Structure 1
């Protein structure tokens, strides 16, 4: 099963996903990214002192960009 990484990024920060998740296909990874974004939306924006836009960037094997979703 392929491994997908879910990285968080904003204008001035990048948080690497060093573990990744095994998922059956890119479509499932996209759905998981959208779910993660929805769950994190309130928490990250609430904790941030500077208004910014966070995204979840999903990469597959070989660091190929699969999907990007905004929080």
Structure 2
């Protein structure tokens, strides 16, 4: 039982760390998008931004689900 709780806590901590890293990546993508003028780079950063946003939403939902189950 104690090992299960430890595994859940460790998984929760990893999710939170990943969420913080993703938030930084999201900010970087916004900054990059604001600073480019080349159409190809604009497309690139739009795709990156969408990808990082989807990852952020997934991680946030996973954390909320884990918090509700505790």
TM over 0.5: no
Structure with greater Cα Rg? 2
Structure having the higher strand fraction is: 1
Which has a greater percent of helix?
2
> Shorter-chain TM-score: which interval?
0.3 to 0.5
